[in-house]
Structure 1
Amino acid sequence: MLNDRLVHVLESRDLLSKVQCGFRKDHSTLHHLVRLETFIKKAFARIKQVLAGFFDLEKAYDTTWRKRIYTEPALHLDGQPILVKGIQGNENVGKLAKAALNNASYLGKLIFWSGLKPKVNAYIHTVWQENWYTEGANKLHEVLPDLGEDLHKRGEGAGSKRETVMCRLRVGHTWLTQSYLYKNEEQSFCYACDSLNTVRQF
């Protein structure tokens, strides 16, 4: 039943590699053995080596969290909930929710990509934010000190033109303060404040 469910979801969404034989109809271990034999013959002919890894997952699947295996790949494989119909045992998924995780499981709590991706993204964001806080003299840092903040919300969703203007104001790019570059003149000076004219000063 598990194999039928995985085959249906993975093949219908074209998520399997062309060289994969597991969880595919009309494919078996024999296909892997033939491919391995081919690799060995080619390497032997070229006087090279072949490195192969073999894993026995039978006991791992026998001792893992069955409820997660039955529901997670079918319902959350790409992060979007779907309903798999016409597969034997689909109606029994609710009963499997009470299945307990065996502490001696080789796979532990099996986490599929849909559950792992948000955690990886959160970790990367945290590391990036810590490095971003050190960029004190960066103009872009002044515009967006917190990486999680949405620029569209800062511009109140008024469109890209307003957003562009607001970003230029935050960075300090205005005609009043930057036109000297186009005119090939000296930067304007405020004699009352005894400093250069900048957006921050205004």
Structure 2
Amino acid sequence: MKEAKILLKDVVKTYKDQTVMFSIKYLELSQNLYFFTGQNGIGKSVFLRSICGIETFEEGTMKVNGEKILYLTDKSVGFNYLTVIENIELIHKLHGVVLNTENLTHIYGKKQLNVLARNASLGMQMKIGCSLLFIKDHWDIIVLDETLANIDKESRDIFYDLLDKRTSEGTCAIVVTHNELPSSNNLSYTKITMNKEGISIV
């Protein structure tokens, strides 16, 4: 039986006016790859920020098994005045992990690494944070909130493969996407859907 990485019981999230945004009676997420779907504005991002400790639930209990959390959104983590490679080196240093530059050849052309982030395409910028997915045996929880939406399909498939590898090491990975879910027979994942009634696992 897989170990629970995130356990929620009777949690409630409300708006500032105390209107209930969503409530979840029970949810257990383990070392698995989850694709998180639901209409815009339903509360997916708020839910993910809450389980990552950026926001809080007003009611209920939450247990998170692990401290090394990688949380990326649909915004670039790079600095405009640094090159792509300088940003990648910086983010690895900030997370205390070692960069293997050979991995970058799978997602960047050689000339792309020396482009200033402000001149890079959105996809190139988003891959700066995603380069951390190459790190082995490190992450307890990975959350990608629309992070892969503007990345080319070839690179996106590479990141899906990396997520699959990380979950085999014991990571719980949650990916929010409005793209078509991957159809590869080699990729094992579970679908989570959020609606007004709460969250269901397919």
User: TM-score band, normalised by the shorter chain?
Assistant: under 0.3
Give the TM-score, by structure 1 length. Answer: 0.22
Higher strand share: 2
More helix by share: 1
Decide which structure has the larger Cα Rg and report it: 1
Structure with more relative contact order (C-alpha pairs < 8 Å, separation 6 or more): 2
